[in-house]
Structures are given as C-alpha cells and as structure tokens.
Amino acid sequence: MKLDGVLSDVRLTQPLAPELAQLEIRGLEYDSRRVEPGFLFFAFPGSRADGRQFAQDAVARGALAVVGESEPPAPLAGHLPAGWVQVEHGRQALSLSARNFYDKPDEQLAITGVTGTNGKTTTAYLIDSVLRAAGNTTAMIGTIEYHLAGRVLKAVNTTPESLDLVRLFTELRQSAGTHATMEVSSHALALNRVYGLHFHTAVFTNLTRDHLDFHGTMEAYFAAKQMLFDGAGGPPPRFAVLNRDDEYARRIQLDPKTQAIWYGLGQEAELRARQISSGFQGLKFEVQHGKLRWAVESPLIGKINVYNILAACGAGLSYGLAPETIALGIRDLRAVPGRFERVDLGQPFVVVVDYAHTDDALRNTIAVARGLNPKRVITLFGCGGDRDRTKRPLMGQAAAEASDFVVLTSDNPRSEDPLAIMNDALVGIRRKDVPHVVEPDRAAAIARALKEAREGDIVILAGKGHETYQVLKDKTIDFDDRQVAREVLKGYGYHRDE
Ligand SMILES: Nc1ncnc2c1ncn2[C@@H]1O[C@H](COP(=O)(O)OP(=O)(O)OP(=O)(O)O)[C@@H](O)[C@H]1O
Ligand SMILES: [Mg+2]
C-alpha cells in the first residue's frame, strides 16, 4: 500500500511530500526490533522509553519512513532515504494507519467492548461464550489471555496496542470469524489503543475508585470511559449495555443513534434479575426483559456475578440472540481462569483458586466464600517479594480476620528471602487469635491446607489465580495452584474427572 493510503485520515502537520506519498509500504511497526525493509515505523513517546530513540535503529533496519509527533531529530534529518512524517497525534496515527493498512477488519466484524472498574474479564468471557453458543467463530481479548477462533494466545496487555489489535482482527477474519469481544481498559482508551475502531456494542459495568494513580482524578477516569460511548475516534456504538445501579453509568452521555439497554436489580432496569439463588453450585435466577422471561443457570459463584451475567444477556440481545441461546452460553462458561475457580475431584469440601493478592481482594474473596455458609473457611496466601512491604501485615490481618484457619506460604518471592516476607505477614495474622501454620514451600502448603479440610469446608488458595509459574530468587519455575491442588487431592484418594 502507498504511504498516502496508509496515512489516509491521519492529521499531518504539513502535506505529505509527493516523493513520500508514493512510497510502497510493506508493513507497520512501533517496535524497532521488528522492523523489516520497506516498513513504516511509528516513533512516539511510550510509557517506558521515548520511541524517537529507536527511529534510527528502525531506519538502519530498512524503514522507509518514520511517523512521529515531534520535529525530526537532528541526526536523522538528511539521513535519507528515510523520510520523517510529523503527525498531530502519534497513537491515533498508529491506530488509523493500522486500520487502513489491514483493510479495516473491525468493520467486517461485530465488536463488543467491555469497560468499567470491575467485572470486565468475567463479562467478556460470558459474552464470548454466548456468541459461541450461537454458533459464531469468535475472538476474546482480555487480561488473562486472548482467544482466537479456538486457539489460546498469551495476553500482553488487557487491551493490546492498536496495531496488534488490528492484526488479531485480521487473523480472526482469515479464520472466518465474525465476532470479537474485548476488555477496553481506561488506559487503553486514554492511550488511543482502540482509536477509530467500529464497536457494535459497548458495555459499562461500574466505576469505583481505582487506577487513580494513572488518571489522577475520578473525573479524568470517567472521561476515559465516556470515550468508548462517543466512539473513540470512530462512530458511536450501535448498542450500549449499561448498569442502571451504578451512579457513573447513569452519567454516561449516549449518542442519539445508540440504543441503550439498561440492566440491574431494581425496577428502573429494563433487563433485570429476579428470584436469585446463590450457592455452592453457582447461580440460578430468572431474567426479565420487557415481556420476555427466561431462566439462567451459571456455575459462577457469588452474587456479584449476577451483574456480569445480566451484562452478557444485554450484549446477547444487542445481537438479536434468542433467550435460549443466551442461557446456553451462560451455562457453558464453567469458570473464568483463576477467578474463584473451583478444583473439584469429588471431595466433600470446596477448593477454589483465586487471584486475590491485596488485602481488599482477599477480604472480598473470603466474604464470597462465607456467603455460601461453609462450616469453615481455610485460607492459604502469601505475599509477593520486591513489592510493597506495607501491604503484607494488612493481608495477614485480612486473612486472619475472616478465616477459621490460615496457611501462610510464599507467593512470588522474587529476589527476597521467603521467610522474611512471611514474617512481615505474620505480624498481621497474630493480631487475631486464629489457628495458623507457616510453610514456605507453596506445594507443601497447599497439601497442608487440603489436609486440614473437612466436609463442608471451603479452602481458598489465594494470590496466583491463573498464573502458571512462580518467580523465585534465581529462577522461574512452572507452578499452577490448580494443578498442584488436583495432584494433592488425587493423592488423598479423590479422583472424579472434572
Ligand atoms: N460486576 C462486578 N462488580 C463489582 N465487583 C466485581 C464484579 N465482577 C467481578 N467483581 C470482582 O472484581 C474482581 C475482578 O473481576 P474481573 O477480573 O472480572 O474484573 P476486571 O474488570 O477485568 O478486573 P481487572 O482490571 O483486574 O482485570 C473479581 O474477583 C470480583 O471479586
Ligand atoms: Mg480484566
């Protein structure tokens, strides 16, 4: 594609020189290490390094031209054949160019974006499951991993860089895919990673104080979320699925062409849940939408997931799916990896793996477990090394406050001494009078926690969730709480296939 085609709709600071406009561009890159001859390189200040430093490297590797927000850096000027194209906004230019170069795959797909402080990952999994239940070939892009037409890819960011995102969409198209569901973090919106994309459906879960280190104020955080509903450089979404029970969702301004679907537990919501029952086996309730009523069942645990399921119902309705299909998709999502994920080999107690790794999250997870009325809650946790030390006693206290038995172990000790980390956490545990044991070896600690469990108890293995490794001082080893728990349970004589 010619450079002027690649840069179509991109705001330049001055018209493209004719000799540049006709350059034949073979590929796009923002990482100079991946540049090949004939590429167009995007150099803009990133969060870690100033991309302009890499412009020279990119040129040396054969980049035909460099796109940047600034004036060309001195050594590059006159260092033709590479030309420098100055744009008003580097990240917007990258996103628009990626869409141009790859022939706008987002316009040929039905894309759902999920934004909000909590519940994005869970909601995205649910929506994807609903779309697959309807027989579609799909992609799902989020925090834990990316799914692409049945394949699982490692996630780089919750929302990938625009160029990578457009490439994923292109791959999905090549696999005859039709629908993509993605978490759209507020960082991604603020950093223009979805700039110019066409969204069919935008979902807003909720907004609470979080990520203020990045956005500064609650208003700036809200403004980032609002961008998704304005279209973020593209047309506004055709449908908006919004949580009526969230005060910020109600403040979202919708374009007159966007059709709203409000979900919630109160009368004001047009899509709502009734007769909720929540227990060890998951959730059951009735969904109402206008005159429609249908029953849903989900293996997901905890009432908070009623919201996520309603959001997924709303997204399903935005695609015109039948209630039975939506219900099927919801029933089929057995767990979100590492989010209150059960390990069940038929033992008479519940074992869950959860990624809670702050005192708040630990408290929440234990509260969800308590809500199921177990005989006892046994909590295993550890604290990460080379990270905030002040949170260790707080985590210890959170675990001790609400549990009946605590197993303190290692998380990712990194370069620190595991025993020293545990000592910090012990200070918090000892503030409460709770039985506890200390076992630095995480596998042995899991065995200890499971040995303690009796019929009717819940064991929470907290901290690592979906992680499949443990970072030690001198190496990273394979380690998966779910797998270790399974092995231990097998060793104790349980064997039912999951
Ligand atoms: N709808 C919800 N409202 C409030 N809290 C929720 C909701 N859904 C899930 N949670 C809580 O938030 C945690 C994170 O859920 P999830 O991973 O789905 O959210 P997320 O928005 O993707 O979060 P992150 O930004 O960490 O990726 C869950 O473990 C649960 O405790
Ligand atoms: Mg997430």
Q: What is the pLDDT of residues 311-337, one digit of tens each?
A: 999 999 999 999 999 999 999 999 999
pLDDT at 496: 80
Beta bridge partners of 229: none
- Can you read off the two tokens belonging to residue 488? 């231990």
CB 425 within 8 A of CB 397: no
Q: Is the dihedral of CA 12, 17, 22, 25 positive or negative?
A: negative
Spans in the chain with pLDDT lower than 70:
45-52, 75-81, 210-212, 497-498
Q: Tell me how many helices (H) and strands (E) the chain has.
A: 17, 23
CB 109 within 8 A of CB 179: yes
pLDDT at 81: 56
pLDDT at 215: 73
Q: Is the dihedral of CA 7, 11, 17, 18 positive or negative?
A: positive
Which atom in ligand 1 lies closest to the alpha carbon of residue 339? 29
Beta bridge partners of 279: 282
pLDDT at 48: 53
pLDDT at 78: 53
Ligand minimally distant from the alpha carbon of residue 356: 1
pLDDT at 292: 95
Q: Is the dihedral of CA 300, 304, 309, 311 positive or negative?
A: negative
Q: DSSP label at 415?
A: T
Gap from CA of 30 to ligand 1 centroid (Å): 31
Gap from CA of 441 to ligand 2 centroid (Å): 29
186 lines ligand 1 (CB under 6 A): no
pLDDT at 458: 98
pLDDT at 156: 86
Residue closest via CA to ligand 1's atom 29 equals: 339
Amino acid at 40: L
pLDDT at 76: 56
121 lines ligand 1 (CB under 6 A): yes
Radius of gyration of the chain (CA): 25
Q: The tokens 């009735």 sit on which residue? A: 286
CB 456 within 8 A of CB 349: yes
Q: What are phi and psi of 298, to 5 degrees?
A: -140, 140
Gap from CA of 23 to ligand 2 centroid (Å): 40
Residue closest via CA to ligand 1's atom 16 equals: 119
143 lines ligand 1 (CB under 6 A): yes
**What's the pLDDT tens digit per position in 283-293?**
999 999 999 99
Gap from CA of 410 to ligand 2 centroid (Å): 24
pLDDT at 468: 94
